[in-house]
Homo-oligomer: A and B are copies of this chain.
Amino acid sequence: MQRLRRLVRQRSARQAENVFVVEGAKVLAEALRAGAGIEAVFLGPGGSEELADRGLDVGARVFWLEPGVLERVADTVTPQPEIAIVRDVAVDLSSLRGATLLVVCVDVRDPGNAGTILRTAEAAGADGVVCCEGSVDFFNPKAVRASAGSLFHVPVVAGGDPVAVLEEIGNWGQRRLGAVARSGTDYATLDLTNPTAFVLGNEANGLPAQVEPLLDERVSIPMAGHAESLNVGMAAAVLCFEAARQRRVAAIVATETP
């Protein structure tokens, strides 16, 4: 249990062992469905017997725990009765070459936003999400919960210096669009049907100055009223679904053109 507790709490422990922790029946089911490597499943009273069986089927060790044990391990007050150690699913940046839609997170700090971004990226059909150094660990338990299992379905790159990442994807021909709260080009006026990478910055401070020279364009979501800015998760949804919308339109036009 000491090991599990460490893996829940410490990014360094997760990185040293190349594993992360998922909590709850829903996310564990997604992990199994996606064929992720499940190393061990821990179940408290009321845990899903079906998930325990499916864990055994894929070679995981399965442990039933006494009441109160999970509470000492998990990072929520009332943990769900399933928790599992899953082998790292992060991919190398180079595997995303050829992508047509990417999300690059520079210094996104809130695990809830990280999860929302993963969920959005998957739903909008993005080819991958890059979370650069300085961002929250997208494999921390809170982000994993917030992703609702999306991180098993959309390729995630963990780490990488933002400047180096933006240089590399620029060399691939990705158009790097930095989201800024104001004074950028209206995102919806741009052609988003070509290879596009949305670059998202810090919740409070936006994009750091060092990445500015590596942006092909600064984009903003025009806002009414007194609204200061959308949170970064909502902005990601608006941007990615506009790209998806434009691509549906382009696909229809392509089909209809003789």
A221 → chain B closest CB, angstroms:
7
B119-A230 in contact (CB<8A): yes
Q: How far is the CA of A221 from the CA of B223 in the complex (A)?
A: 21
Residues in chain B near residue A123, CB distance under 8 A: 221, 223-225, 227, 229-230
Q: How far is the CB of A134 from chain B (nearest CB, A)?
A: 24
Of the candidate stretches A58-66, A87-95, A148-156, the one touching chain B is: A148-156
Counting chain B CB atoms within 10 Å of each CB, the highest count among A120, A188, A229, A238 belongs to: A238
With beta carbons under 8 angstroms apart, the residue of B148, B234, B241, B242 that contacts A120 is B234
Interface string of A130-168 (1 = CB under 8 A from B): 000000000000000000111001100000000000000
Contact with A119, one of B30, B33, B149, B227 (Cβ below 8 angstroms): B227
- Nearest chain B residue, comparing its CB with the CB of A187: B245
Does A124 reach chain B (CB closer than 8 Å)?
yes
Q: Do the beta carbons of B116 and A226 come within 8 Å of each other?
A: no
Q: Give the residue name and chain of the B residue nearest to A123 (CB).
A: B227
Annotate A210-235 by CB proximity to B: 1 below 8 A, 0 otherwise. Answer: 00000000000111111111110110
Given contacts A234-B233, A238-B237, A245-B242, contact A227 B188 (CB under 8 A): no
